[in-house]
Structure 1
Amino acid sequence: MNIGVDAAALGMSNTVVASTTDVNSAYWNPAGLVHLEDHQGALMHASYFANIAQYDYAAYAKPIDDRSAYAISFIRFGVDDILNTTELIDGQGNIDYNRIKLFSAADYAFTFSYARKLPVPGFQYGVNAKVIRRVIGDFANSWGFGFDVGLQFERDDWKFGLMLRDITTTYNIWNIDEDEYAKISNAIPGENQELPESTEITLPKAQLGIAKKWEFHNDMSLLAATNLNMRFAQTNDIISTSFVSIDPALGFEVGYTDLVFFRTGVGNFQNITQLDGSQQVGFQPNIGVGFKYKGIQIDYALTDLGDQSAALYSNIFSLKIDLGIFR
């Protein structure tokens, strides 16, 4: 749930909390759903860790009336076809490769979003109700529940956004198959002797965003946006205290005739300790492009450009469709 969705947003280093106004607002800030003029659908696919992990997303959103809207969305992040070698050796000590099975470790998120304009002009709010499902083959699975709350405010072409994730704290309750666990608990003497904790907690986080878009006479446009991503714990973020840690991000989108877009951004500023004990600041630049025509938008983002390993680059593709064009 921390990775993000939509190649257009990822190309801008996720700096869309204030400016999001489409179906993907269900993830970034549900308050933005009130800007929908018709129902929309979105799809995204990305591969991570040299294609070992697959990340998929789908969403649908629709206005309810001129003041409110709703959306439903689905996310899956999984590693498939993992070799289960826990029964590789039979009871007589023989190695039998036919006993190897395949399993998946996958996380799922189902989200229902609702947004509504407030009586104060320019103000809108949105709420996400999330169901989290995690499965690790036959070994363990869990269910979790949580809520997000988002706000947006617009004045004089400036946009402001606040997204509070897991505001009530998200809890995942694990069910561990003790028979399957027993097969591996003594694989390494002295390790994994006890069952893991059955409760997993995701603490609240906050994102504060500001954005402004300029339109030029030559059919060009420029959207500039910034985010402050906050976690209420001390981390390696560039701004870090015992109360809150802040990771800033900056993103830009240049558009031509609302048809072609180029995007770039930088974020994930972290204090990194080198082997010699010295400190340096690490960051992650992203770039992306997009094409929009008659209600169909295709976007591409290349993320994690700052990493020295080409295997860790992520190529992300997404599709957004104004479904009203099929009427």
Structure 2
Amino acid sequence: MMRIDRAVIKGLFLNSLLVVALLAGTGFRKYAGEFMAIDVSPRAQALGGSFVALANDVTASYYNPAGLVNLQATQFSFMHAWQFVNFVNFDYLAVAHPIGYHRVLGISVSRLAVDDIPDTRAALIQQGDDWRLDWSRVTRFNSADYVVTVALGQRWNERLSWGVSVKLIRRNLGENYANGIGVDGGLQFQLRPNWRLGLSLKNMTTTLIAWDTGEKELVYPMGILGTAYRFRVPGMDAYFIPNLDVILRSVSLPGAGDARVYNFEGGIFTGAVGGEFQYRGVLSFRAGIDELQRFAFGIGVKIPHIRVDYSFLNYARELGNSHRIGILLDFGN
């Protein structure tokens, strides 16, 4: 019996540590903004996250707000994901609506959460040289991260568009909470009719997240330069679109402490690549490799006013794999 109790205790503590490291970020400042770096679009995830230049639907609020100008009518999107052996739930809801001449407003909300986490800190009881778990003293708590985004995309001319988004952040971990605000920006440039470039600047002013405990987290700026080219497949009513993103993460200056001081010199270069095969504008097959060199693939089916997307991302064996299902509604003609 004691062996079982020890195994249970070890599992509970490991689970709690995993949750705190993944979601809380308190004391793990290097990963403070990772909960905002999770793909919200199954289409984008299947492409390895290489979506800055291709972003052309309601989810552009997240990837590149400049891409919102590609909307011709109101769009609505919902996504649900299971991650880390179904331990973590991720939900995303977004809407975008044209509000003027070549101007589109987008609003989205995301929730990344683990519910009913066992808290065993007050439940360990010592009996001689052994310890056991008193289940009557085990309590439960939730950990959740919320991000509300308001984005605006504006066409500058026939070839260039720009966008900006403001992120309101709320983090809850048991009885503690944190608030934050951040700003993203982006550009899209139509180099040729079938060739588009994109630039996304995330956390442009450095995003500050402040906990009620006095702990502060800084999410440093990140720049993403992307390209997407649309090839027509000979002899078929189909297109192939390869995508490439080059990512530069900034680093804080030595000795800066909690100050908002950063630079891109000595930053970390990474990248993501993907490709989408579109057949008759109805069926899409996608595959890609993300920034962490993980393989992803997915499929999309489009019928009038509705698009359904699925994606799969290969995580480490111990963490299981990630599945995403998304629905996009287009209220255009």
Shorter-chain TM-score: which interval? Answer: 0.7 to 0.9
SS of match in other structure, 1:18? coil
Question: Match of 2:222?
Answer: 205
Tell me whether 1:58 sits opposite 2:122 in the alignment: no
1:142 partnered with 2:142:
no
Distance 2:330 2:104 in 1: 15
Q: TM-score, length-normalised on structure 1?
A: 0.81
**CA spacing shift, 1:32–1:84, aligned 2, 3 Å:** same
Describe the superposition over 1:186-240 as per-residue Cα deviations: whole angstroms up to 9, x where unpaired. xxxxxxxxxxx52111000011000111234521111111000110139xxxxxx
How many residue pairs get aligned? The number is 280
**Range with greater deviation from structure 2 (55-64 or 79-88):** 79-88
Does the aligned pair in 1 maintain the 2:220–2:251 contact within 8 Å? no
Q: Do 1:247 and 1:267's aligned partners in 2 also have CA atoms closer than 8 Å?
A: no
3-state SS in 2 of match to 1:244: strand
User: Match of 1:73?
Assistant: 108
**1:142-170 CA distances to partner (integer Å, 9 max, x unpaired)?**
00001001111002121000000000000
Structure 1 match to 2:152: 114
1:133 and 2:150 correspond:
no
Q: 1:95 to 1:290 in 2, by over 3 A?
A: closer
Return the alpha-carbon distance in structure 1 between the equivalents of residues 295 and 171 of structure 2. Answer: 30
Structure 1 stretches of 4+ with a deviation exceeding 4 A read: 93-96
Name the CA distance, whole Å, in 2 between partners of 1:142 and 1:82. 19
Q: Percent of aligned pairs with the same residue? A: 31
Matched, 1:300 2:310: yes
In structure 2, C-alpha distance between the alignment counterparts of 1:144 and 1:84, rounded to whole Å: 26
Instruction: Work out whether residues 72 and 332 of structure 2, in 8 Å CA contact, stay in contact via their aligned partners in 1.
Output: no
Task: Please report the RMSD computed on the Cα atoms of aligned residues, expressed in angstroms.
Answer: 2.1
Partner Cα distance (1:97, 1:284) in 2:
39
Gap runs ≥5 in structure 2 = 1-35, 126-130, 253-263
Q: Report what 2:200 is aligned to.
A: 163
Change beyond 3 A, Cα 1:95–1:224: closer
User: Paired residue for 1:319?
Assistant: 327
Match of 1:291 among 298, 301, 316: 301
| Cα offsets for 1:57-101 (capped at 9, x unmatched) | 1100001123100010011111111012344369xx997533322
Cross-structure match for 1:280:
none
Question: Could you list the per-position Cα deviations for residues 281-320 of structure 1 after superposition, in whole angstroms to 9, with x for gaps in the alignment?
Answer: xx21111111000111111111126x4x174211111111
In the alignment, the residues of structure 2 paired with residue 286 and residue 48 of structure 1 have an alpha-carbon distance, to the nearest angstrom, of 14
Gaps of 5+ in 1: 177-196, 235-240, 270-282
Per-residue CA distance 1:36-58 (angstroms, 9 max, x = gap): 11100111111111011111111
The 2-side partners of 1:289 and 1:12 are apart by: 10
1:243 is the counterpart of 2:266: yes
TM-score by length of 2: 0.79
1:177-216 matches, cutoff 5 A: 198-216=215-233
1:245 alignment partner, SS class: strand
Structure 1 residue 323: Cα displacement: 3.1
AA partner of residue 219 (structure 1): D
Map of 1:194 onto structure 2: none
